């Protein structure tokens, strides 16, 4: 496979050929080094041939989406690639080598977009793919820029949904992801199947209630929801393979 995925609606940004997420686990003195790499790597990764949308992300438990959730021991690099060889170029880059030298563990997830709506930093990074049936593991990314006036209301609504999420059959991994300690929050989740993700997203009462309030109370200044088919997964997070 080369170039962009052809299953894209006319007029939308191109659908990436592949989206990569590398999550690095660090400890001890390397935590401070990791914080320093966040600013350095944004530009460096964007300059890799074939790289499109790039985000270097902090992670957390996602249970409250407040600073106390932050996991300074895990950091992520998310990249949309114009061709299927992009992840290999990233893994040959100085940025990946620097992270690997610090990391106690790594998780690599390669994905292709199934559906995406909304924007992230004014972009449609995953294009507007034409949805199709998929078997096997899937992933989801949500991201929101929360209106400052709604921070307190949003934070109070998160714990019931987060608690319910971890009770759903078929969840393999759930991480909070963010570009800032507050206001720019998201999630990355891995699921056994599309049916399991759909059960949580559309049939669980706590999530349905939050979706209703999000619309009625205008919590978000910007939001994005995307689903992916997982084409490759290896490594560990928290010492276990998802």
Q: What is the pLDDT of residues 127-143, one digit of tens each?
A: 999 877 788 999 999 88
Residue 116 belongs to domain with CATH number:
3.30.70.100
Give the tokens for residue 212. 């209703």
Collapsing DSSP states into helix, strand and coil, what is residue 72? strand
Relative to beta strand 220-235, strand 105-118 is antiparallel
Over residues 16-31, the pLDDT tens digits come to 999 999 999 999 999 9
DSSP letter for 8, please: B
Q: Number of helices (H) and strands (E) in the chain: give both, helices first.
A: 6, 8
pLDDT for 218:
54
**Does 10 fall in a domain?**
no
73: in domain:
yes
Amino acid 197: pLDDT: 86
- Chain centre to alpha carbon of residue 204: 21
Q: What is the pLDDT of residues 171-222, one digit of tens each?
A: 899 888 887 544 447 889 999 998 888 877 654 444 455 555 555 555 666 8
> Is 242 part of any domain?
no
Of 163 and 77, more confident: 77
Residue range of the domain that includes 126: 18-235
What proportion of the chain, given as a percentage, has pLDDT over 70? 71
pLDDT of residue 214: 56
pLDDT at 157 over 60: no
pLDDT at 241: 95
Which residues fall within 8 angstroms of residue 143, CB to CB, at 6 or more apart? 120, 177, 184, 185, 186, 223, 224
pLDDT value for 201: 66
pLDDT surpasses 90 at 54: yes
> Structural domain tally of the chain?
1
Query: Does the pLDDT of residue 239 top 80, yes or no?
Result: yes
C-alpha atoms less than 13 angstroms from C-alpha of 141 in its C-beta half-sphere: 31
Q: Mean pLDDT over all residues of the chain?
A: 81
Contacts of 103 (CB under 8 A, 6+ apart): 24, 25, 26, 30
Residue 3 maps to a domain? no
Backbone phi, psi, residue 229, to 5°: -90, 135
Residue 193: inside a domain, yes or no? yes
d(CA 192, CA 66): 28
* 5 found inside a domain: no
Q: Where are the beta strands (DSSP E) in 13-101?
A: 18-25, 51-60, 70-81
């Amino acid at each position: 496979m080369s170039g962009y995925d052809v299953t894209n609606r006319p007029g939308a940004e191109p659908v990436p050929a592949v989206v990569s997420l590398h999550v690095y686990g660090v400890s001890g003195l390397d935590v401070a080094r990791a914080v320093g790499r966040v600013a350095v790597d944004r530009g460096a990764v964007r300059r890799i041939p074939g790289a499109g949308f790039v985000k270097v992300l902090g992670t957390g438990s996602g249970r409250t989406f407040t600073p106390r959730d932050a996991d300074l021991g895990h950091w992520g690099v998310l990249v949309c690639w114009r061709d299927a060889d992009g992840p290999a170029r990233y893994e040959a880059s100085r940025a990946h080598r620097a992270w690997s030298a610090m990391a106690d563990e790594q998780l690599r997830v390669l994905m292709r977009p199934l559906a995406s709506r909304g924007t992230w930093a004014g972009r449609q990074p995953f294009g507007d793919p034409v949805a199709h049936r998929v078997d096997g593991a899937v992933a989801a990314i949500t991201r929101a820029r929360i209106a400052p006036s709604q921070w307190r209301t949003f934070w109070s609504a998160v714990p019931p949904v987060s608690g319910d999420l971890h009770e759903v059959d078929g969840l393999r991994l759930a991480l909070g992801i963010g570009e800032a300690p507050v206001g720019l929050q998201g999630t990355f989740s891995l699921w056994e199947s599309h049916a399991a993700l759909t059960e949580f997203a559309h049939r669980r009462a706590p999530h349905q209630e939050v979706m209703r309030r999000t619309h009625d109370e205008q919590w978000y200044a910007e939001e994005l929801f995307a689903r992916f088919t997982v084409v490759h997964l290896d490594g560990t997070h928290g010492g276990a393979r998802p």
